[in-house]
Chains A and B, each alone.
Chain A
Amino acid sequence: MEPVLLSVGGAAGAVSRYLVGLALDNELFPWSTLAVNVLGSFVLGVVLFGVSNDDMLLLVGVGFCGAFTTFSSFGFQTVVLWEQGEQKKAAINALANLVVSLAAFGGAWLLIAG
């Protein structure tokens, strides 16, 4: 059962990320990756704090959120910005993904526990 849940969640997460990329495509700043990382961190928080079902955790938490969010695209885009001479944008991107995603995860906790 685990591979099925992870496959469905992972496939849905990857395709959703791609579609967000099509909608928010921007050459100046990697907005779409910031958007998926923040949104995915929020949804993972909701699932971790609000759902006790193990299958849902695998499907949505590990499968969907894990694949919807991405560290490698984030890393790649940050390094490319840096190499393009856009060091300030690269630093903002590195910090914004971390801070806003943590805030979104904390927001999910407040929403569920508070």
Chain B
Amino acid sequence: MLRKRLLTQGEAIVLIALGGALGANLRFALGAIAGEALATTAAVNAVGCFGLGLLLFEARADELLSKRFRYIFATGFFASFTTYSTFIADIALTTPSVALVYITASYAAGFGGVFASYRVVSAVSNEPIQLSAEGER
């Protein structure tokens, strides 16, 4: 069952790989430029939440963007640009008080980014956003 699905997933895999490579490079480059690790990760995650939200809510409303575009930029780029593992390592390796601020800020900015993207897509699309649709990842 899974094997049969994999064989038909060739194009998706190539596009997601491309987006993933782009996302990882941009995340690293921004960290190298900014220098401030925790603030960079929090900002990357917030911006990525907003970007992914735009694409995935759009897919649940007007569906103007193609599935191929979503493979590259949603599942590939934005999901890879943001990171949970670095977020966790940052928390574990800093002081408890900094960790508390960092967790709160990251969650608030991340969820805030998704809510903001919901507002934007609601405002510009003709069709309402279908919340019950199956998710993309």
Q: List residues of chain A with CB under 8 Å of any chain B CB.
A: 2-3, 6-15, 17-19, 21-23, 25, 27, 30, 32-33, 36-37, 40-41, 43-45, 48, 58, 61-63, 65-80, 83-84, 94, 97-98, 101-102, 104-106, 109
Are A18 and B85 neighbours in the complex by a CB distance under 8 Å?
Answer: no
Contact between B137 and A33 (Cβ–Cβ < 8 Å)?
yes
Which residue of B is nearest A7, CB measured? B21
Tally chain B residues at the interface, Cβ within 8 Å.
Answer: 55
* In contact, B18 and A11 (Cβ under 8 angstroms): yes
Supposing A11-B20, A67-B20 touch, asked if A73 and B137 sit within 8 A by C-beta, the answer is yes
Q: Are A105 and B21 in contact (CB under 8 A)?
A: no
Question: Which single member of A10, A30, A98 contacts B103 (CB below 8 Å)?
Answer: A98
Q: Quick check: A15 and B16 within 8 Å, CB to CB?
A: yes
Q: How far is the CA of A55 from the CA of B107 in the complex (A)?
A: 31
The CA of A109 and the CA of B83, in the complex, are separated in Å by 20
Task: Supply 11 A–B pairs (Cβ within 8 Å), ascending by A.
Answer: A3-B25, A7-B21, A9-B24, A14-B75, A17-B137, A41-B88, A62-B27, A66-B80, A72-B78, A72-B79, A76-B53
